[in-house]
Amino acid sequence: MFDRDVWQEIFFTLKSNKLRTFLTGFSVGWAIFILVMLLASVNGMQNGFTGQFNDDATNSIFVRPGTTTKAYAGFEEGRRIQLKNDDVAYIRESFPNDIEYISGRYFTNTSARYKSETGSYPVQAVDPEFQIIEKTIITKGRYFNDADVANAAKVAVIGRKVREDLFKKEDPIGKFVELNGLSFKIIGIFTDDGDDNAERRLYAPLSTYQRIYGNTDNINQVALTYNPRYDLAKALEFSDRLEILMKRRHKVSPEDQSGINIWNYAEAFDNISSFSAVLSTVSIAVAFLILIAGIVGIGNIMIFTIKERTKEIGVRKALGAKPSQIINLVLLEATFITTISGFVGLIFAWIILSLIGPAIKTPAFSNPSVSLSTVITATIILIIAGVLAGLLPAIKAANVKPIVALNDK
Amino acid sequence: MIEIKELHKSYKMGSNSLHVLKGINISIAEGELVAIMGSSGSGKSTLLNILGMLDVADTGDYTLDNVPIKDLNETKAAKYRNKFLGFVFQSFNLINYKSAMENVALPLYYQKVNRKERQKKALKYLEQVGLKEWASHLPSELSGGQKQRVAIARAMAAEPKVLLADEPTGALDSTTSYEVMDLIQKINDDGNTILIVTHEPDIADMCKRIVHLKDGVIVEDKKIEQVRASAYV
């Protein structure tokens, strides 16, 4: 294989048929290019999905109330379900072993003013444990704690974007900002792995908001994380139990999905994982079909080359070349073209990905890239493809009868 | 060196078969220089092809250097050809992208001789045919006579038992033909067994024995007084 004479011959044939070599190689290079781009795209989508999910803890569940669509237990349909603080306490007490963190969630909007800067932002009034559920990262200062909740302290944690809007270059920690006319002390700044919108938002203690804006104990949502040691099956089983319990508590029909909706990340994540698995399978299949076309192309060209070189092969056989040596030569040539052109396709795809990859940043698609394992797989596929492409022509070459080849009269 | 007994060969040509060799018996000793003559269709090329293991006889025995040549598969034939035979063709059949030296070294490559040794031997044989200075030239840069001399050097490089030449001067003018024959005679003088297929009487006269084929049988087999080609060069 590492024989100088063999390589000299291969290079000669390739060199003397530059256009043919290029066209042949192109088909395989193109196939690999498509394969890599498809895989990278699927990878990008996966990254996009998981990126969105990583915004929150992957073991989180949201209990979302709505309006009933079925009459049940003596109630008519169309009843609005309202969650209250005691729902949080009830869930916590009902599932002491299943729940890791739990928090009520109250959504509102506020206008905010600091000196001459104003803005309008969503506010999430939550309990301190929500920091972990939402994976909020505090870059400066602190999140509110149980003492702030107990005192219904007028404190707020602001997003990085809010800070940029209102405070410019000033350090906001300890400063007071007016939210709907009431003065709140800024105690922390957060960033979020999600998009910019997730950072253009404020967090405040749930108790504070409930007291000063309405004096209720209503909440919009219950967010919780379950025991992180749970696998998917156990997580689903737990969310089913939670659903049954909550529906019973609020007298919602077990079949009514809009009265109370339990949204489980694990389930959604599982759906998306299998979706992207199907997607990668489909793209691999498509790329393979294209690759087959490339292999046929190479095989075709090799047969043609051998027809042209029949005489030379005949001479070699007359000089004592064994059929295996002829097969070796042809296979090596086919594998060589396939591998080289495949790598060119691979490198092209890689260059394009590294140029445009970082530029693409939408929620659904981020950082499309090829892993080392993809590259290794592609290489193995290429070598196999080369051997397949060369096999038929090689056998044809080995069967060249020297007498026919040399019949020059 | 060569023993042929009752050799038959026929070719299928559509529905009818063409009986080309109809029982050839011939014995060639070591060191002979034999011309096989005959008109086209006489079977002389078929005989040479069978001797060269490029073709297989239907029936009959063929013994080469006391080795019975039978039940040949491709690999075995390749091995025997490499070990026993050197070929010289009418159209030279040099590989056009290899230099003269590489062409001569090719049979040695198939004998798995290492590269250095191959080059040394190839140069030695090129020197013998008087083309040492042309070692690095491609066949396209050589004249017809030079090409045939390279081909002869290539045939000799593997140190074969028998040299088979199929119309070696067929593509050359008479002066060049005599130069090539001079070379063949010298190689024969060194004790090598050589068979030449030719239809040119003057070339045949430069051999030591002439075998005449007609319609697939030997009609004449005589030893002659060799005409030295050097007289014409």
Tell me whether residues B154 and A320 touch, CB distance under 8 A.
no
- Token representation of residue B86: 């050197």
| pLDDT (0 to 100) of residue A47 | 75
Q: Which residues of B touch A314 (CB under 8 A)?
A: 93
Of B69, B58, B78, B88, the closest CA to residue B183 belongs to: B88
pLDDT tier at A103, thresholds 50, 70, 90: very high
| pLDDT (0 to 100) of residue B163 | 92
Three-state SS across chain B? CEEEEEEEEEEEECCEEEEEEEEEEEEECCCCEEEEECCCCCCHHHHHHHHCCCCCCCEEEEEECCEECCCCCHHHHHHHHHHHEEEECCCCCCCCCCCHHHHHHHHHHHCCCCHHHHHHHHHHHHHHCCCHHHCCCCHHHCCHHHHHHHHHHHHHHCCCCEEEEECCCCCCCHHHHHHHHHHHHHHHHCCCEEEEECCCHHHHHCCCEEEEEECCEEEEEEECCCCCHHHCC
| pLDDT (0 to 100) of residue B29 | 93
Could you say which DSSP state residue A75 is in? B
Q: Are residues A343 and A239 in the same domain?
A: no
| pLDDT (0 to 100) of residue B232 | 81
- Token representation of residue A4: 């100088």
Asked if residue A157 lies in contact with residue A188, where contact means CB atoms within 8 angstroms, the answer is yes
- B11 shares contact with chain A (CB less than 8 Å): no
| Distance separating alpha carbons of residues B3 and B68, to the nearest angstrom | 9
Asked if residue A107 lies in contact with residue A220, where contact means CB atoms within 8 angstroms, the answer is yes
Q: Which residues of A touch B90 (CB under 8 A)?
A: 408-409
Tell me whether residues A4 and B82 touch, CB distance under 8 A.
no
Q: Are residues A344 and A202 in the same domain?
A: no
- ipTM greater than 0.95, yes or no? no
Question: How confident is the model over A240-288, as pLDDT tens digits?
Answer: 999 999 999 999 998 888 889 998 887 777 777 788 788 878 888 887 8
| pLDDT (0 to 100) of residue A347 | 87
- Token representation of residue A68: 């009933």
Could you say which DSSP state residue B229 is in? G
Which of the residue ranges A113-122, A129-138, A385-394 would you say has the lowest mean pLDDT?
A385-394
Which of the residue ranges A57-71, A307-321, A376-390 would you say has the lowest mean pLDDT?
A376-390
Q: How far is CA A380 from each of CA A202, A339, A353, A376, rounded to the nearest angstrom?
A: 52, 9, 21, 6
* pTM over cut 0.80: no
Q: Are residues A112 and A237 in the same domain?
A: yes
Q: CA angle at residue A168 from A165 to A171, to 5 degrees?
A: 115
| pLDDT (0 to 100) of residue A409 | 43
Tell me whether residues B109 and A324 touch, CB distance under 8 A.
no
| Distance separating alpha carbons of residues B48 and B197, to the nearest angstrom | 7
Of A2, A31, A8, A20, the closest CA to residue A382 belongs to: A31
For the segment A309-333, the average pLDDT, to the nearest whole number, is 86
Q: Write out the residue range of the structural domain in which residue A155 sits.
A: 60-264
- CA A17 to mean position of chain CA atoms: 44
Q: Are residues A204 and A225 in the same domain?
A: yes
Q: Are residues A367 and A299 in the same domain?
A: yes
Q: Are residues A45 and A124 in the same domain?
A: no
Better-scored residue on pLDDT, B17 or A155: A155
Distance in Å, alpha carbon of B21 to nearest chain A alpha carbon: 16
Distance in Å, alpha carbon of A405 to nearest chain B alpha carbon: 10
| pLDDT (0 to 100) of residue B159 | 87
pLDDT tier at A51, thresholds 50, 70, 90: low
Class of domain B2-10+30-95+160-231: alpha beta
Tell me whether residues B49 and A398 touch, CB distance under 8 A.
no
Question: Which segments within A212-258 are labelled E, that is strand?
Answer: 218-219, 221-226
| pLDDT (0 to 100) of residue B39 | 86
Minimum CA–CA partner of A398 in chain B: B74
Count of structural domains, chain A: 2
Q: Which residues of A touch B51 (CB under 8 A)?
A: none
Choose one of A248, A264, A280: the last residue of a domain. A264
Q: Are residues A91 and A18 in the same domain?
A: no
Question: How confident is the model over A132-147, as pLDDT tens digits?
Answer: 888 888 999 999 999 9
| Distance separating alpha carbons of residues B11 and A405, to the nearest angstrom | 17
Q: Are residues A189 and A42 in the same domain?
A: no
Q: Are residues A215 and A289 in the same domain?
A: no
- Token representation of residue B137: 């030239």
- Token representation of residue A9: 């011959």
Please name the residues between 78 and 137 in chain A that touch chain B, using a CB distance below 8 Å: none
How many contacts does A have with B, using Cβ atoms within 8 A?
70
pLDDT tier at A361, thresholds 50, 70, 90: low
Interface test with A, best of B87, B90, B93 (most A CBs within 10 A): B93
- A324 shares contact with chain B (CB less than 8 Å): yes
Q: Are residues A85 and A177 in the same domain?
A: yes
Tell me whether residues B110 and A321 touch, CB distance under 8 A.
yes
For chain B, residues with pLDDT lower than 70 are none
Q: Are residues A371 and A284 in the same domain?
A: yes
| Distance separating alpha carbons of residues A339 and A336, to the nearest angstrom | 5
- pLDDT, chain A, mean: 84
Of B97, B81, B50, B150, the closest CA to residue A309 belongs to: B97
Question: How confident is the model over A366-386, as pLDDT tens digits?
Answer: 667 777 777 777 778 777 888
For the segment A103-125, the average pLDDT, to the nearest whole number, is 91
Q: Does pLDDT of A349 surpass 70?
A: yes
Q: Which residues of B touch A16 (CB under 8 A)?
A: 97
Tell me whether residues B90 and A409 touch, CB distance under 8 A.
yes
| Gap between the terminal Cα atoms of chain A | 36
- B114 shares contact with chain A (CB less than 8 Å): no
- A312 shares contact with chain B (CB less than 8 Å): yes
Q: Are residues A222 and A296 in the same domain?
A: no
Please name the residues between 186 and 225 in chain B that touch chain A, using a CB distance below 8 Å: none
For the segment A77-91, the average pLDDT, to the nearest whole number, is 91
Distance in Å, alpha carbon of A25 to nearest chain B alpha carbon: 23
| pLDDT (0 to 100) of residue A1 | 54
Question: How confident is the model over A205-221, as pLDDT tens digits?
Answer: 999 988 887 778 899 99
Number of H helices, E strands in chain B: 7, 10
A303-A304-A309-A314 Cα dihedral, nearest 10 degrees: 40
Q: Which residues of B touch A398 (CB under 8 A)?
A: 74
Per cent of chain A over pLDDT 70 is 93
